[in-house]
């Protein structure tokens, strides 16, 4: 993972994801690309609302310029090569445009307004558009331990397999890898890639793993069970598959993916 794409925006998660992106870039002797999206120009205003829109654009540009100057000053002191890209329009479209030539996309776990009442809309949109793995970073994180334990959330699906394969560069560095499964009655027989296949795949690259089947608990959600198990094993992050088809966004993100993205306690490495 030598090419890291970092979302630039002044929200509660920015400091955390900046430090994480720098840690990963250093560990892999990589290159950091900063992508900053600024809203489109609206054209020449001809009414009151147009005047307001034009003023908003000026304000956005001023704020973006100030943020760029401050972050560039910090990056100039770091031992990581970097470059800056200024996009226009939505952050999701800008990131999706440049993601194909990057190995990892780093974004924050919260919505830009900082409210944790729902999963980040940006992450949801990126899951539809981006094939590169996406690292979702919680606001409390200040470093990313690539040499510690890691967890893999496995549900026997192709999405889990894609996520596992995409995470191999970081899993090779982990001191231990825990493959966590929950045997849901409603999911039994739906997918045909048992956790032993994940263990075999890891072993082919010399990675030893521990398989754990977690019991269902009617008093807790699947996400809560997975997070508790990962934290009990001191995992620094969780690798998991995610669905990215827009037609099913509301239905899919109403399940495990939705719950996991609600202000997660530890980073999530997502792929689909």
What is the C-alpha separation between 7 and 17, in angstroms, rounded?
Answer: 8
Asked whether residue 113 falls in the same domain as residue 63, the answer is: yes
Last residue of a domain, one of 137, 166, 184: 137
Q: What is the pLDDT of residues 148-181, one digit of tens each?
A: 999 999 999 899 999 999 999 999 999 999 999 9
Asked whether residue 126 falls in the same domain as residue 185, the answer is: no
Tally of structural domains, the chain: 2
Domain that holds residue 85: 3-137
Domain holding 257: CATH number?
Answer: 3.40.50.620
Report how far apart, in Å, the C-alpha atoms of 42 and of each of 51, 92, 160 are.
10, 19, 42
Asked whether residue 8 falls in the same domain as residue 121, the answer is: yes
Q: What is the pLDDT of residues 35-54, one digit of tens each?
A: 999 866 444 445 545 555 56
Q: What is the pLDDT of residues 55-90, one digit of tens each?
A: 666 777 888 899 999 999 999 999 999 999 998 889
Asked whether residue 224 falls in the same domain as residue 198, the answer is: yes
Asked whether residue 8 falls in the same domain as residue 131, the answer is: yes
Place of tokens 């999206």: 37
Does any domain span residue 145?
Answer: no
The percentage of the chain sitting over the pLDDT mark of 70, rounded to a whole number, equals: 83
Which residues, in sequence order, are bridge partners of residue 177?
150, 209
pLDDT at 50: 53
Does any domain span residue 80?
Answer: yes
pTM as predicted: 0.89
């Amino acid at each position: 993972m030598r090419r890291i794409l970092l979302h630039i925006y002044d929200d509660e998660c920015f400091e955390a994801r900046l430090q994480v992106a720098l840690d990963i870039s250093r560990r892999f002797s990589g290159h950091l690309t900063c992508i900053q999206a600024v809203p489109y120009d609206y054209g020449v205003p001809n009414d009151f609302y147009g005047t307001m829109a034009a003023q908003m654009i000026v304000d956005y540009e001023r704020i973006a310029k100030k943020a760029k100057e401050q972050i560039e000053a910090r990056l100039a002191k770091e031992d990581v090569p970097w470059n800056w890209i200024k996009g226009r329009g939505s952050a999701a479209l800008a990131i999706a445009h440049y993601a194909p030539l990057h190995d990892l996309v780093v974004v924050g776990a919260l919505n830009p307004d900082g409210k944790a009442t729902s999963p980040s809309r940006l992450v949801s949109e990126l899951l539809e558009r981006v094939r590169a793995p996406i690292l979702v970073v919680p606001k409390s994180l200040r470093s990313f331990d690539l040499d510690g334990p890691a967890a893999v959330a496995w549900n026997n699906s192709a999405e889990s397999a894609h996520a596992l394969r995409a995470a191999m560069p970081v899993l090779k560095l982990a001191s231990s890898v825990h493959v966590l499964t929950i045997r849901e009655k409603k999911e039994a027989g739906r997918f045909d890639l048992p956790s032993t296949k994940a263990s075999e795949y890891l072993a082919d690259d010399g990675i030893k793993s521990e398989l754990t089947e977690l019991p269902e608990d009617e008093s807790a959600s699947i996400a809560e069970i997975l997070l508790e198990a990962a934290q009990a094993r001191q995992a620094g992050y969780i690798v998991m598959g995610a669905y990215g088809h827009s037609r099913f966004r509301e239905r899919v993100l109403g399940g495990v993916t939705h719950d996991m993205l609600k202000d997660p306690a530890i980073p999530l490495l997502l792929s689909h």
